[in-house]
Amino acid sequence: SSRTRQSRGRSILVRKKIPFQMAFEGGSEEVSVDTYLTCEICSGRGGATNDDVEICSTCRGQGQVTQTRQVGPFVQQTSGICPSCQGRGKTIINPCKECRGDGRIKKKQTIRFNVPEGVDTGMRLRMRGKGHVPKQGGVAGDLEIELILDNHPWFERDGAELLMSLPVGFPDLMLGKKVKIQHLDGNPLVIKIPPNSLAGHTLNISGRGLPNGRGRRGDVIILLKLHMPKKPSRSLKSQLESLKSDLGISDEDLENAILDEAKDRRS
């Protein structure tokens, strides 16, 4: 059977680290790749001139040869790549001096590509025809770019949700507080800690997470953590001793406190 389709070049896979901000708003990036491109001197023929490229006499331009052999009473036919032209269907008499008959030259290319919003680690972008050109002409392979999302200084992500821990001092947990931190969308993230909050509880700020692909944004989920001074001063320790009776739990009240905590947890 004749060759009905052109040979295809190999595809290229590259990995590219991108800033976390791109998960929010997308953007454009670029990668540098070493790619086999069509030789401009011979236009991919491989021969110095058109007359220097001939149809392979072994396979008559098919790129394949069929062998027939007798196996007992049966005739067995097998097809394989032509050994004379390595499946290309043509032979080079006088090779192009630039590419030495390959029809292609390896060059470094810088390729710019668009990153969609909501991108995550492991997403692959495919660019058709940006891979290697095969020897002596044909269809170029593809370029696949695997994206690796860089870490954010304090956010983790779960799909379109953004998760973070917020250290809060005991007075602020008890009395409540409003804090502002910078955010991915350019507007400050205002976190309102209600009075009598507990460490380990979460606050939810809706619509300030990442795009979810449906025209909306996920939530920001904030875990309250009790901030403990690393090196408390003597005076602070002295003040805490005097507050023990008001803020602490006596041995007599401990069991009731455990029961209350279990009741709250199960309700």
Position 150 scores a pLDDT of 95
Q: Is 171 left (phi over 0), alpha (psi -120 to 50) or beta?
A: alpha
pLDDT at 6 (0 to 100): 65
Which segments in the chain show pLDDT lower than 70? 1-6
With contact defined as beta carbons under 8 Å apart, do 11 and 142 qualify?
Answer: yes
Report how far residue 148's alpha carbon sits from residue 142's, in angstroms, rounded to the nearest whole number: 19
Whole-angstrom distance, CA of residue 67 vs CA of residue 79: 6
